[in-house]
Copies of this chain bind each other. A is one copy, B any other.
Protein backbone atom coordinates (compact mmCIF):
# COMPACT_ATOMS: atom_id res chain seq x y z
CA UNK A 1 0.00 0.00 0.00
CA UNK A 2 1.58 3.27 -1.15
CA UNK A 3 2.20 5.92 1.47
CA UNK A 4 2.85 9.62 0.97
CA UNK A 5 5.83 11.11 2.74
CA UNK A 6 6.77 14.71 3.33
CA UNK A 7 10.36 15.50 2.38
CA UNK A 8 12.39 17.29 5.06
CA UNK A 9 15.95 18.42 4.30
CA UNK A 10 18.37 16.90 6.81
CA UNK A 11 19.61 20.34 7.89
CA UNK A 12 16.03 21.36 8.73
CA UNK A 13 15.48 18.10 10.64
CA UNK A 14 18.75 18.39 12.53
CA UNK A 15 18.14 22.03 13.51
CA UNK A 16 14.86 21.16 15.12
CA UNK A 17 16.10 18.04 16.88
CA UNK A 18 19.21 19.82 18.16
CA UNK A 19 17.05 22.67 19.46
CA UNK A 20 14.81 20.19 21.25
CA UNK A 21 17.80 18.53 22.94
CA UNK A 22 19.35 21.90 23.86
CA UNK A 23 16.03 23.08 25.30
CA UNK A 24 16.14 20.07 27.60
CA UNK A 25 19.57 21.09 28.86
CA UNK A 26 21.87 19.05 26.65
CA UNK A 27 25.14 20.55 25.42
CA UNK A 28 25.41 21.61 21.79
CA UNK A 29 27.72 18.68 20.86
CA UNK A 30 25.43 16.18 22.57
CA UNK A 31 22.48 17.63 20.66
CA UNK A 32 24.38 17.40 17.37
CA UNK A 33 25.18 13.70 17.89
CA UNK A 34 21.64 13.12 19.10
CA UNK A 35 20.23 14.58 15.90
CA UNK A 36 22.80 12.81 13.70
CA UNK A 37 21.79 9.31 14.81
CA UNK A 38 18.10 10.13 14.38
CA UNK A 39 18.73 11.50 10.88
CA UNK A 40 20.64 8.31 10.06
CA UNK A 41 17.74 6.23 11.33
CA UNK A 42 15.14 8.18 9.34
CA UNK A 43 17.30 8.16 6.20
CA UNK A 44 17.44 4.35 6.40
CA UNK A 45 13.73 3.92 7.09
CA UNK A 46 14.17 2.96 10.74
CA UNK A 47 10.97 4.71 11.84
CA UNK A 48 11.00 3.00 15.24
CA UNK A 49 14.15 4.92 16.18
CA UNK A 50 13.60 8.33 14.66
CA UNK A 51 13.90 11.62 16.54
CA UNK A 52 10.31 11.45 17.75
CA UNK A 53 11.05 8.15 19.48
CA UNK A 54 14.41 9.40 20.75
CA UNK A 55 12.94 12.49 22.38
CA UNK A 56 9.96 10.56 23.72
CA UNK A 57 12.30 8.01 25.35
CA UNK A 58 14.40 10.86 26.73
CA UNK A 59 11.28 12.31 28.28
CA UNK A 60 10.14 8.97 29.77
CA UNK A 61 13.45 7.45 30.86
CA UNK A 62 16.16 10.03 30.21
CA UNK A 63 16.52 13.67 31.17
CA UNK A 64 12.80 13.72 32.01
CA UNK A 65 13.46 11.02 34.61
CA UNK A 66 16.81 10.09 36.20
CA UNK A 67 18.20 7.95 33.37
CA UNK A 68 20.11 10.61 31.47
CA UNK A 69 22.15 13.58 32.67
CA UNK A 70 22.71 16.42 30.17
CA UNK A 71 26.35 17.44 30.05
CA UNK A 72 27.58 14.33 31.89
CA UNK A 73 31.30 13.67 31.39
CA UNK A 74 32.46 10.19 30.40
CA UNK A 75 35.00 8.75 32.83
CA UNK A 76 37.68 6.46 31.45
CA UNK A 77 38.41 3.63 33.90
CA UNK A 78 42.13 2.75 34.17
CA UNK A 79 43.00 -0.60 32.60
CA UNK A 80 46.13 -2.75 32.29
CA UNK A 81 45.03 -3.94 28.83
CA UNK A 82 46.02 -2.43 25.49
CA UNK A 83 43.12 -3.26 23.14
CA UNK A 84 40.17 -2.68 25.44
CA UNK A 85 38.72 0.35 27.19
CA UNK A 86 36.07 0.69 29.86
CA UNK A 87 34.10 3.85 30.33
CA UNK A 88 31.63 5.00 32.91
CA UNK A 89 29.21 7.22 30.97
CA UNK A 90 27.64 8.60 34.13
CA UNK A 91 24.30 8.58 32.25
CA UNK A 92 25.43 10.75 29.36
CA UNK A 93 23.10 10.85 26.34
CA UNK A 94 23.41 7.52 24.49
CA UNK A 95 24.13 8.76 20.96
CA UNK A 96 27.28 10.80 21.69
CA UNK A 97 28.48 8.09 24.04
CA UNK A 98 28.02 5.42 21.37
CA UNK A 99 29.64 7.45 18.58
CA UNK A 100 32.68 8.12 20.75
CA UNK A 101 32.90 4.50 21.89
CA UNK A 102 32.77 3.20 18.32
CA UNK A 103 35.40 5.75 17.32
CA UNK A 104 37.64 4.59 20.17
CA UNK A 105 37.13 0.94 19.17
CA UNK A 106 38.12 1.82 15.58
CA UNK A 107 41.30 3.50 16.82
CA UNK A 108 42.14 0.42 18.90
CA UNK A 109 41.45 -1.90 15.95
CA UNK A 110 43.77 0.14 13.72
CA UNK A 111 46.66 -0.77 16.02
CA UNK A 112 45.65 -4.03 17.60
CA UNK A 113 43.46 -5.60 14.90
CA UNK A 114 40.56 -5.69 17.34
CA UNK A 115 39.26 -3.12 19.79
CA UNK A 116 36.63 -3.38 22.51
CA UNK A 117 34.97 -0.54 24.39
CA UNK A 118 32.61 -1.36 27.26
CA UNK A 119 30.38 1.32 28.74
CA UNK A 120 28.78 1.24 32.17
CA UNK A 121 26.03 3.50 33.52
CA UNK A 122 24.77 4.39 30.06
CA UNK A 123 21.54 5.73 28.66
CA UNK A 124 19.82 3.99 25.70
CA UNK A 125 21.71 4.49 22.41
CA UNK A 126 18.56 3.89 20.31
CA UNK A 127 19.64 2.25 17.04
CA UNK A 128 22.65 -0.06 17.35
CA UNK A 129 22.52 -0.70 13.62
CA UNK A 130 23.39 2.93 12.96
CA UNK A 131 26.73 2.75 14.75
CA UNK A 132 27.85 -0.50 13.14
CA UNK A 133 26.66 0.69 9.71
CA UNK A 134 28.76 3.79 10.13
CA UNK A 135 31.86 1.79 11.03
CA UNK A 136 31.19 -0.70 8.22
CA UNK A 137 30.95 2.15 5.69
CA UNK A 138 34.40 3.20 6.88
CA UNK A 139 35.73 -0.32 6.21
CA UNK A 140 35.48 -2.04 9.58
CA UNK A 141 33.73 -5.12 10.95
CA UNK A 142 31.74 -3.79 13.87
CA UNK A 143 29.51 -5.21 16.56
CA UNK A 144 27.55 -3.79 19.44
CA UNK A 145 25.09 -5.02 22.00
CA UNK A 146 23.39 -3.32 24.91
CA UNK A 147 20.96 -4.10 27.67
CA UNK A 148 17.56 -2.66 26.77
CA UNK A 149 15.90 -0.08 28.98
CA UNK A 150 13.20 -2.36 30.41
CA UNK A 151 12.98 -6.05 31.30
CA UNK A 152 10.11 -7.08 29.02
CA UNK A 153 11.21 -10.55 27.85
CA UNK A 154 10.57 -13.84 29.63
CA UNK A 155 13.40 -16.42 29.70
CA UNK A 156 12.62 -19.53 27.65
CA UNK A 157 10.36 -21.73 29.76
CA UNK A 158 9.66 -18.98 32.28
CA UNK A 159 6.75 -16.81 33.37
CA UNK A 160 8.04 -13.35 34.26
CA UNK A 161 9.94 -10.77 32.20
CA UNK A 162 13.51 -10.50 33.50
CA UNK A 163 15.42 -9.84 30.25
CA UNK A 164 15.58 -6.82 28.01
CA UNK A 165 14.69 -7.03 24.33
CA UNK A 166 18.50 -6.87 24.17
CA UNK A 167 19.50 -6.18 20.57
CA UNK A 168 22.61 -7.33 18.72
CA UNK A 169 24.02 -5.41 15.76
CA UNK A 170 26.75 -6.50 13.35
CA UNK A 171 28.07 -4.48 10.43
CA UNK A 172 30.33 -5.73 7.64
CA UNK A 173 32.27 -3.62 5.11
CA UNK A 174 30.62 -5.08 2.02
CA UNK A 175 30.01 -1.90 0.02
CA UNK A 176 32.58 -2.98 -2.60
CA UNK A 177 30.92 -6.41 -2.80
CA UNK A 178 27.21 -5.58 -2.88
CA UNK A 179 26.90 -1.79 -2.83
CA UNK A 180 26.05 -1.35 0.84
CA UNK A 181 27.24 -2.56 4.23
CA UNK A 182 25.57 -5.75 5.43
CA UNK A 183 23.96 -4.85 8.75
CA UNK A 184 22.44 -7.58 10.88
CA UNK A 185 20.48 -5.79 13.57
CA UNK A 186 17.56 -6.98 15.61
CA UNK A 187 16.12 -7.36 19.08
CA UNK A 188 16.05 -10.82 20.62
CA UNK A 189 12.28 -10.81 21.20
CA UNK A 190 9.92 -12.08 18.47
CA UNK A 191 8.35 -8.62 18.32
CA UNK A 192 8.85 -5.32 20.11
CA UNK A 193 6.49 -3.96 22.77
CA UNK A 194 5.83 -1.06 20.41
CA UNK A 195 4.40 -3.56 17.94
CA UNK A 196 2.08 -4.94 20.64
CA UNK A 197 0.81 -1.42 21.28
CA UNK A 198 0.37 -0.77 17.57
CA UNK A 199 -1.67 -3.96 17.08
CA UNK A 200 -3.73 -3.05 20.13
CA UNK A 201 -4.57 0.34 18.57
CA UNK A 202 -5.41 -1.35 15.27
CA UNK A 203 -7.55 -4.04 16.93
CA UNK A 204 -5.45 -6.82 15.42
CA UNK A 205 -4.18 -10.03 17.05
CA UNK A 206 -0.53 -10.66 17.89
CA UNK A 207 1.41 -13.34 16.04
CA UNK A 208 1.35 -16.65 17.95
CA UNK A 209 4.07 -17.40 20.50
CA UNK A 210 5.25 -13.81 20.68
CA UNK A 211 3.78 -12.56 23.95
CA UNK A 212 2.59 -13.77 27.36
CA UNK A 213 -0.25 -12.61 29.60
CA UNK A 214 -0.11 -11.70 33.27
CA UNK A 215 -0.02 -15.38 34.27
CA UNK A 216 2.87 -16.14 31.92
CA UNK A 217 0.64 -17.96 29.42
CA UNK A 218 0.89 -17.36 25.65
CA UNK A 219 -1.64 -14.90 24.27
CA UNK A 220 -2.44 -13.38 20.89
CA UNK A 221 -4.64 -10.69 22.48
CA UNK A 222 -2.65 -7.45 22.61
CA UNK A 223 -4.84 -6.27 25.51
CA UNK A 224 -3.73 -9.26 27.58
CA UNK A 225 -0.06 -9.19 26.57
CA UNK A 226 2.26 -7.94 29.32
CA UNK A 227 5.56 -9.56 28.36
CA UNK A 228 7.44 -10.78 25.31
CA UNK A 229 9.00 -14.09 24.22
CA UNK A 230 12.53 -14.53 22.82
CA UNK A 231 12.69 -15.47 19.14
CA UNK A 232 13.86 -19.00 18.33
CA UNK A 233 13.02 -20.51 21.73
CA UNK A 234 16.22 -21.39 23.68
CA UNK A 235 18.43 -19.89 20.96
CA UNK A 236 17.04 -16.37 21.19
CA UNK A 237 16.93 -16.76 24.97
CA UNK A 238 20.67 -17.44 24.88
CA UNK A 239 21.22 -14.36 22.73
CA UNK A 240 19.21 -12.17 25.11
CA UNK A 241 21.15 -13.63 28.03
CA UNK A 242 24.48 -12.65 26.43
CA UNK A 243 23.68 -8.95 26.79
CA UNK A 244 22.72 -9.39 30.45
CA UNK A 245 25.91 -11.36 31.13
CA UNK A 246 28.15 -8.88 29.33
CA UNK A 247 26.31 -6.09 31.13
CA UNK A 248 26.79 -7.89 34.43
CA UNK A 249 30.54 -8.22 33.83
CA UNK A 250 30.74 -4.53 32.88
CA UNK A 251 28.80 -3.21 35.85
CA UNK A 252 25.11 -3.47 35.08
CA UNK A 253 22.78 -4.23 37.92
CA UNK A 254 19.62 -6.35 38.17
CA UNK A 255 17.71 -6.39 34.87
CA UNK A 256 14.29 -6.09 36.49
CA UNK A 257 15.34 -2.78 38.07
CA UNK A 258 16.57 -1.10 34.89
CA UNK A 259 14.98 2.33 34.35
CA UNK A 260 12.89 1.80 37.52
CA UNK A 261 14.31 4.65 39.56
CA UNK A 262 11.61 4.42 42.21
CA UNK A 263 12.87 1.05 43.48
CA UNK A 264 15.94 -0.02 45.44
CA UNK A 265 18.04 3.15 45.27
CA UNK A 266 21.22 1.31 46.25
CA UNK A 267 21.01 -0.73 43.01
CA UNK A 268 21.87 0.69 39.58
CA UNK A 269 19.14 1.38 37.04
CA UNK A 270 21.11 2.06 33.88
CA UNK A 271 22.08 0.19 30.70
CA UNK A 272 25.44 -1.18 29.60
CA UNK A 273 26.95 -0.99 26.11
CA UNK A 274 29.51 -3.23 24.43
CA UNK A 275 31.30 -2.19 21.22
CA UNK A 276 33.78 -4.18 19.19
CA UNK A 277 35.61 -3.39 15.97
CA UNK A 278 37.83 -5.70 13.91
CA UNK A 279 40.06 -4.44 11.13
CA UNK A 280 39.37 -6.69 8.13
CA UNK A 281 43.10 -6.96 7.41
CA UNK A 282 43.42 -8.61 10.83
CA UNK A 283 41.33 -11.56 9.62
CA UNK A 284 42.89 -12.11 6.21
CA UNK A 285 45.00 -15.19 5.54
CA UNK A 286 45.80 -13.75 2.12
CA UNK A 287 45.24 -17.22 0.67
CA UNK A 288 42.09 -16.50 -1.35
CA UNK A 289 41.18 -18.88 -4.16
CA UNK A 290 41.74 -17.91 -7.77
CA UNK A 291 44.03 -15.04 -6.81
CA UNK A 292 41.15 -12.95 -5.48
CA UNK A 293 41.75 -10.18 -3.01
CA UNK A 294 39.71 -10.06 0.19
CA UNK A 295 36.94 -7.82 -1.18
CA UNK A 296 36.60 -9.93 -4.33
CA UNK A 297 36.47 -13.07 -2.21
CA UNK A 298 33.68 -11.71 -0.02
CA UNK A 299 31.84 -10.71 -3.18
CA UNK A 300 32.23 -14.22 -4.64
CA UNK A 301 30.95 -15.78 -1.39
CA UNK A 302 27.89 -13.51 -1.37
CA UNK A 303 27.20 -14.17 -5.04
CA UNK A 304 27.28 -17.90 -4.33
CA UNK A 305 24.89 -17.52 -1.38
CA UNK A 306 22.40 -15.47 -3.43
CA UNK A 307 22.75 -17.64 -6.53
CA UNK A 308 21.31 -21.04 -7.40
CA UNK A 309 17.70 -19.83 -7.29
CA UNK A 310 18.15 -17.57 -4.25
CA UNK A 311 18.33 -14.40 -6.34
CA UNK A 312 15.25 -12.93 -4.69
CA UNK A 313 16.63 -13.23 -1.15
CA UNK A 314 17.52 -10.01 0.60
CA UNK A 315 20.76 -9.36 2.40
CA UNK A 316 20.45 -7.81 5.87
CA UNK A 317 20.89 -4.06 5.44
CA UNK A 318 19.47 -4.06 1.91
CA UNK A 319 16.10 -2.60 2.89
CA UNK A 320 17.90 0.14 4.80
CA UNK A 321 20.18 0.81 1.80
CA UNK A 322 17.13 1.05 -0.46
CA UNK A 323 15.58 3.61 1.90
CA UNK A 324 18.76 5.64 1.93
CA UNK A 325 18.75 5.69 -1.89
CA UNK A 326 15.10 6.76 -1.85
CA UNK A 327 15.85 9.51 0.68
CA UNK A 328 18.79 10.72 -1.41
CA UNK A 329 16.65 10.79 -4.55
CA UNK A 330 13.94 12.72 -2.71
CA UNK A 331 16.54 15.13 -1.35
CA UNK A 332 15.63 14.75 2.31
CA UNK A 333 14.24 12.60 5.07
CA UNK A 334 10.79 11.12 4.58
CA UNK A 335 8.06 11.57 7.19
CA UNK A 336 4.35 10.86 7.21
CA UNK A 337 1.91 13.68 7.90
CA UNK A 338 1.34 12.52 11.47
CA UNK A 339 5.09 12.42 12.02
CA UNK A 340 5.32 15.99 10.64
CA UNK A 341 2.70 17.09 13.14
CA UNK A 342 4.55 15.41 15.98
CA UNK A 343 7.74 17.20 14.95
CA UNK A 344 5.83 20.47 15.17
CA UNK A 345 4.86 19.66 18.75
CA UNK A 346 8.58 19.32 19.42
CA UNK A 347 9.14 22.68 17.69
CA UNK A 348 6.63 24.26 20.05
CA UNK A 349 8.38 22.66 23.04
CA UNK A 350 11.77 23.89 21.81
CA UNK A 351 10.43 27.34 20.98
CA UNK A 352 11.56 27.26 17.35
CA UNK A 353 9.70 27.75 14.09
CA UNK A 354 7.34 24.99 13.04
CA UNK A 355 7.86 23.09 9.81
CA UNK A 356 5.63 24.10 6.90
CA UNK A 357 3.56 20.99 6.24
CA UNK A 358 1.23 21.96 3.44
CA UNK A 359 4.04 23.49 1.37
CA UNK A 360 6.51 20.61 1.94
CA UNK A 361 7.35 18.55 -1.09
CA UNK A 362 6.04 15.00 -0.93
CA UNK A 363 6.94 11.62 -2.39
CA UNK A 364 4.79 8.53 -2.61
CA UNK A 365 6.12 4.96 -2.43
Cβ of A234 < 8 Å from any Cβ of B? Answer: yes
Are A309 and B216 touching (Cβ within 8 A)? Answer: yes
Query: 8 Å CB contacts to B: which residues of A293-325?
Result: 294, 297-298, 300-302, 304-310, 312-316
Are B304 and A112 touching (Cβ within 8 A)? Answer: no
If the complex has contacts A231-B232, A286-B77, are A305 and B116 also in contact, measured as CB distance less than 8 A? Answer: no
Are A162 and B305 touching (Cβ within 8 A)? Answer: yes
| B-side contacts of A279, CB under 8 Å | 81, 84
| B-side contacts of A83, CB under 8 Å | 82-83, 112-114
Q: Mark A221-253, 1 if CB is under 8 A from B, else 0.
A: 000000000011011111101101111111111
In-complex Cβ contact of A86 among B250, B256, B284, B306 (8 A): B284
| B-side contacts of A252, CB under 8 Å | 297, 301
In-complex Cβ contact of A157 among B114, B285, B314 (8 A): B314
- How far is it, in angstroms, between the C-alpha of A274 and the C-alpha of B187 when the chains are bound? 24
Are B282 and A160 touching (Cβ within 8 A)? Answer: no
CB distance from A285 to the nearest CB of B (A): 4
Sort chain A's interface into a size bin.
35 or more
| B-side contacts of A254, CB under 8 Å | 300-301, 304
In-complex Cβ contact of A245 among B79, B157, B182, B238 (8 A): B182
Q: Which B-chain residue is minimally distant from A301 (CB atoms)?
A: B248
Q: Mark A321-332, 1 if CB is under 8 A from B, else 0.
A: 000000000000
List 15 interface pairs A-B (beta carbons < 8 Å), by A numbering: A77-B284, A79-B281, A81-B282, A82-B83, A84-B279, A112-B114, A121-B285, A121-B287, A160-B309, A162-B307, A237-B316, A252-B301, A253-B288, A255-B304, A274-B283
B-binding residues in A (CB < 8 A) = 77, 79-84, 86-88, 111-116, 118, 120-121, 141, 154-160, 162-163, 170, 172, 174, 182, 184, 186, 216, 231-232, 234-239, 241-242, 244-257, 266-268, 274, 276, 278-290, 294, 297-298, 300-302, 304-310, 312-316
Given contacts A84-B283, A232-B236, 8 further A-B contacts (CB under 8 A): A162-B305, A162-B306, A163-B305, A182-B245, A184-B238, A247-B301, A249-B294, A253-B300
